[in-house]
């Protein structure tokens, strides 16, 4: 199984040169890691290194809430079935996840984690799970059985959550908010999903290149998130993608090679791009129409032979 999520967006090298005026300080890239992918923050400030370190510390703190590979709040919830005094960021993410669950007709469902673990284990052993195994795990899926408030998050027995379809965007939003609170809005935060609270220092938009030569996007005052059915796969051959349909328990069919959503927040753009991979074009349009300010930035189908 591919362990790291494929990147669909990259910042063009032109980002260092565009804009009608030069910034007061050179543009600096701050590099880090979060949620299984590289992170970078672009900013121009005399104290860029120190500011970048504070931003990376915030990313590490948030990963300790959302990661499935650390002793995080999410891991403890999945292990114990309950999480007392959940962090406010965790509750915020769950609330947004619930909204996306409703808007997508249940297709965005973080409770697919037991199915995800089943597929990962079976493919690691050489093949897909059986219909009976999938049926057993589907009985553990259902967002309506997740209960949460400021004091407690509670899961039904056997349930588990994954926030991988929303947490990268949520972390990007949180870091952008942290920098904005310090007066830095001419920045670009890249956690695999992008947030540009404003344009480049000195003026101009941030140029973003979509994967596989699918075009460029000028980003300013918005977020951008992308997904692909086969962007990460359970099998070495890349035939069984990581986005699972909660209605069937099976990987999504190979319909969309690249699906990018832009809008006011990376949290919602991230979740919407994930869920829309399970939809046909009319349903994608209806879903995004229910999310004010959000729209498709790219929609690239796989060849019909797949």
Annotated binding residue 190:
no
Q: How far apart are CA 78 and CA 70, in angstroms?
A: 12
- Structural domains of the chain in order of their starting residue, each with its CATH number: 1-306 (3.10.520.10)
Residues forming beta bridges with residue 244, ordered by sequence position? 251
Pairing of strands 188-190, 206-210: unpaired
Cα 267 off chain centre by: 7
pLDDT band at 11 (very low <50, low <70, confident <90, very high): low
Whether 170 contacts 27, CB under 8 Å = no
- CA 166 vs CA 126, 238, 269: distances in Å: 29, 23, 8
Q: Which residues contact 21 (CB under 8 A, 6 or more apart)?
A: 202, 203
Q: What is the pLDDT of residue 33?
A: 85
Annotated binding residue 47:
no
Q: What is the pLDDT of residue 10?
A: 58
Q: Which residues contact 102 (CB under 8 A, 6 or more apart)?
A: none
Q: What is the pLDDT of residue 21?
A: 42
pTM higher than 0.85: yes
Taking 90 as the threshold, does the pLDDT of residue 239 lie above it?
no
In the chain, the percentage of residues whose pLDDT exceeds 70 is 91
Which of 74, 128, 119 shows the shortest CA–CA distance to 97? 74
| φ, ψ (nearest 5 deg) of residue 185 | -110, -20
DSSP run (H or E) holding 41: strand 37-44
Cα 262 off chain centre by: 12
Q: What is the pLDDT of residue 240?
A: 85
Taking 60 as the threshold, does the pLDDT of residue 1 lie above it?
no
Q: Tell me: the pLDDT tens digits for 169-195?
A: 999 999 999 999 999 999 999 999 999
pLDDT band at 286 (very low <50, low <70, confident <90, very high): very high
| The token pair that represents 190 in the structure block | 């890249």
Which residue is it, tokens 């672009």?
42
Residues forming beta bridges with residue 44, ordered by sequence position? 27
Q: Tell me: the pLDDT tens digits for 134-167?
A: 999 999 999 999 999 999 999 999 999 999 999 9
Report the 10 Å Cβ neighbour count for 300: 16
Across all residues in the chain, what is the average pLDDT?
90
Q: How far apart are CA 20 and CA 167, in angstroms?
A: 35
Q: Tell me: the pLDDT tens digits for 71-103?
A: 999 999 999 999 999 999 999 999 999 999 999
Q: What is the pLDDT of residue 24?
A: 57
| The token pair that represents 77 in the structure block | 């919830």
Q: How far apart are CA 211 and CA 300, in angstroms?
A: 10
Q: Tell me: the pLDDT tens digits for 41-72?
A: 999 999 999 999 999 999 999 999 999 988 99
Annotated binding residue 262:
no
In the chain, the percentage of residues whose pLDDT exceeds 90 is 76
């Amino acid at each position: 199984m591919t362990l790291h999520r494929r990147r669909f967006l990259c910042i063009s090298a032109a980002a260092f040169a565009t804009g009608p005026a030069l910034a007061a300080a050179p543009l600096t890239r701050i590099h880090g890691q979060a949620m299984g992918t590289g992170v970078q923050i672009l900013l121009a400030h005399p104290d860029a290194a120190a500011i970048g370190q504070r931003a990376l510390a915030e990313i590490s703190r948030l990963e300790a809430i959302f990661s499935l590979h650390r002793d995080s709040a999410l891991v403890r919830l999945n292990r114990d079935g309950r999480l007392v005094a959940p962090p406010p960021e965790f509750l915020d993410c769950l609330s947004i996840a619930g909204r996306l669950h409703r808007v997508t007709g249940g297709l965005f469902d973080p409770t697919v984690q037991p199915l995800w673990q089943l597929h990962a284990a079976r493919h690691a052993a050489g093949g897909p799970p059986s219909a009976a195994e999938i049926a057993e795990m589907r009985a553990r899926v259902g967002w309506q059985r997740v209960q949460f408030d400021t004091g407690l998050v509670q899961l039904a027995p056997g349930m588990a959550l994954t926030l991988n379809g929303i947490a990268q965007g949520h972390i990007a939003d949180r870091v952008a908010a942290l920098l904005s609170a310090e007066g830095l809005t001419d920045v670009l935060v890249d956690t695999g999903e992008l947030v540009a609270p404003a344009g480049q220092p000195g003026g101009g938009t941030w140029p973003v290149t979509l994967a596989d030569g699918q075009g460029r996007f000028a980003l300013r005052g918005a977020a951008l998130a992308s997904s692909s059915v086969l962007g990460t796969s359970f099998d070495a051959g890349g035939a069984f993608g990581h986005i699972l349909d909660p209605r069937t328990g099976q990987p999504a069919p190979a319909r969309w090679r690249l699906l990018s959503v832009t809008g006011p927040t990376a949290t919602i753009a991230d979740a919407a791009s994930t869920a829309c991979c399970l939809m046909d074009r009319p349903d994608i349009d209806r879903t995004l129409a229910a999310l004010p300010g959000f729209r498709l930035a790219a929609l690239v189908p796989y060849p019909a032979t797949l």
